[in-house]
Amino acid sequence: MIKDLFADDDNIIRQWKEPLAKDAIILRGFAYSKAPILLQNIMDIAENAPFRYFMTPSGHMMSVSMTNCGQLGWISDKQGYRYTENDPLSGQKWPKMPEIFQQLAQKAASQAGFTDFIPDACLINRYHPGSRLNLHQDKNEIDLSQPIVSVSLGLPATFLFGGLQREYPCQRVLLTHGDIIVWGGSSRLRYHGILPLKDGVTPWPLQDNVRYNLTFRRVFPV
């Protein structure tokens, strides 16, 4: 039997729910106490599948470097945005998703009312000051009934959460070390992004001036 690594945190989690929109919430500090082990797992994953800058289909280099873990990994090149079973750099399978990652995603999704979430992909983004993520929808997944679970570690970032059309107004939400956003249901295809990352004081145990983001998704139906 696998130990529930978040069992002792349940009461704390319930106190820090912040509504964002219908079917979307922020869990303030949800991952804070587990940040050191999450970061160590990120480093271990990057040893086997290094961070890299993908090119967009239009030929522009993304300002955020990334890697993946899980059954599937998200990539981008001139052929388009898509998921693959293998890392194109090595030709090998993406690193296995750590158990603590799976529990984190499932626990967070459950707090938002998505009790059957089983992620098969985890995108790991690395931001340095000046990096940004333009407004976009997460729509490369076949199973759009499952939520997105997004974990913030490191430097604070301003998250943009818009509507179902790109031109709709966006909420601006400051995300800090350990915060998680979950959105699905009627909010699943909302546009979202990250404003250019500002320099700041990186929380322990990070030593580099950096922000990591774990984005958990379910690509194929269970």
Q: pLDDT band at 3, cuts 50/70/90?
A: low
Query: Does residue 10 lie in a domain region?
Result: no
SS3 2: coil
Q: Looking at this protein, which amino acid is placed at residue 112?
A: A
pLDDT score of 8 more than 80 = no
Residue 6 corresponds to which tokens in the numbers above?
């978040």
Total domains present in the chain: 1
Domain enclosing residue 147, as ranges: 18-52+97-217
Per-residue pLDDT at 7: 59
For residue 212, is it within any domain? yes
**Inter-residue contact 131 to 193 (CB < 8 Å):** no
Joined tokens for residue 186? 């009627």
The token duo for 26 is 């922020």
Confirm whether 78 is domain-assigned.
no
Token pair, residue 19, equals 């509504």
Asked, for residue 58, whether it belongs to a domain, the answer is: no
Residue 1 above 50 pLDDT?
no
Indicate the SS3 state at residue 57: coil
Query: Each residue of 91-129: pLDDT tens digit?
Result: 999 999 999 999 999 999 999 999 999 999 999 999 999
Tell whether the model's pLDDT for residue 157 goes beyond 50: yes
Is 8 inside a domain boundary?
A: no
The letter for the amino acid at 209 is N
DSSP string, 154-212: ES-EEEEE--SSTTS--EEEEE-TT-EEEE-GGGTT--EEEPPPPP-PPPTT--SS-EE
Flag whether 198 is in a domain: yes
> What CATH code is carried by the domain that includes residue 108?
2.60.120.590
- CA dist 163 and 27 (Å) reads 20
Whether 88 is covered by a domain: the verdict is no
Q: What is the pTM for the complete model shown?
A: 0.93
Q: Is the pLDDT of residue 138 over 50?
A: yes
**What is the distance, to the nearest Å, from the Cα of residue 93 to the centroid of all Cα atoms in its chain?**
20
pLDDT at res. 201: 85
In a domain, 86, yes or no: no
Digit-coded pLDDT (tens) for 43-78:
999 999 999 999 999 999 999 999 999 999 999 999
Q: Which residues make Cβ contacts (< 8 Å) with residue 20, sequence separation at least 6?
A: 26, 161, 171, 173, 181, 183, 187
CA dist 54 and 61 (Å) reads 6
